[in-house]
Amino acid sequence: MQQIVSITSQGQVTIPVKMRRSLGIKKATKATLEKKQGKLIIKPQRDFWQLSGGMKSKIKLTDKQLRAARRSFETDWAQE
């Protein structure tokens, strides 16, 4: 599937509805953008954990450590 789209002066692109539907995009979502061999590749992301490389940090934690940190945050920072 290929379609011509416009890029605004602010760098915004509108993805045609037919393409969004074929990708299962029904609402606002995040995406990763990659430049590869002179092409832009846009990959919709379904959830936070799929944003691989999107939020780089020098901090390296295992899944177990991340889940423990989340539980701690939920209990220690919970608002009433």
8 in a structural domain: no
Residue in this structure with the two tokens 């209990």, named with its chain if needed: 75
pLDDT value, residue 32: 87
Residue 46: exposure state from Cβ atoms within 10 A (0-12, 13-18, ≥19) = exposed
CB of 13 within 8 A of CB of 5?
yes
Average confidence (pLDDT) per 10 residues, the chain, 80 residues: 92 92 87 92 74 66 86 73
**Is 56 strand, coil or helix?**
coil
Number of domains in the chain: 1
pLDDT at site 19: 92
| Domain contains 35 | yes
Phi and psi at residue 2, to the nearest 5°: -140, 135
Q: Give a yes or no: residue 68 inside a domain.
A: yes
In a domain, 3, yes or no: no
Q: Tell me whether residue 43 is in a domain.
A: yes
pTM of the predicted structure, to 2 decimals: 0.51
pLDDT score, position 62: 86
